[in-house]
Amino acid sequence: QKEVEQDPGPLSVPEGAIVSLNCTYSNSAFQYFMWYRQYSRKGPELLMYTYSSGNKEDGRFTAQVDKSSKYISLFIRDSQPSDSATYLCAMTFSGNTPLVFGKGTRLSVIA
């Protein structure tokens, strides 16, 4: 079993839709959870960060962590064509430990 599982998509939605992106993981020691966004031909950039369980909201983006189910989610409300990118989940045990990444989900938002 892979440490972090993420559906690679591709996922295609109409503009304005609510998007749900998910990752599952196997190691209960993970404490820091992140979502990165990667535009075509660019490096990934941090989108959302959550420590332990709970929700975090930033504008149209909400990150959720359910440690009991080993499941994290990223919700995008009112999706825009500019949200078209690959979204990578990542997690780690501590701030000084290399991140473990999911394979990424490619999202296309159609105008």
Partner 1 sequence: DVKVTQSSRYLVKRTGEKVFLECVQDMDHENMFWYRQDPGLGLRLIYFSYDVKMKEKGDIPEGYSVSREKKERFSLILESASTNQTSMYLCASTPPSGRVDTGELFFGEGSRLTVL
* Strands 11-14 and 61-66, sheet pairing: unpaired
Task: Verify binding: residue 77, partner 1, rule CB under 8 A.
Answer: no
Beta bridge partners of 108: 12
CB of 70 to partner 1, least distance (A): 18
**Helix extents (H) in the chain:** none
Q: Is 104 in the site for partner 1 (CB under 8 A)?
A: yes
Site string for partner 1, 19-48 (x = CB under 8 A): -------------x-x-x----xxxxxx--
DSSP secondary structure letter of residue 81: G
Burial (CB count <10 Å: 0-12, 13-18, 19+), residue 82: exposed
Nearer to partner 1, 79 or 101 (CB): 101
Enumerate binding residues for partner 1 (CB under 8 A). 6, 8, 32, 34, 36, 41-46, 49, 51, 88, 90, 92, 94-99, 101-104
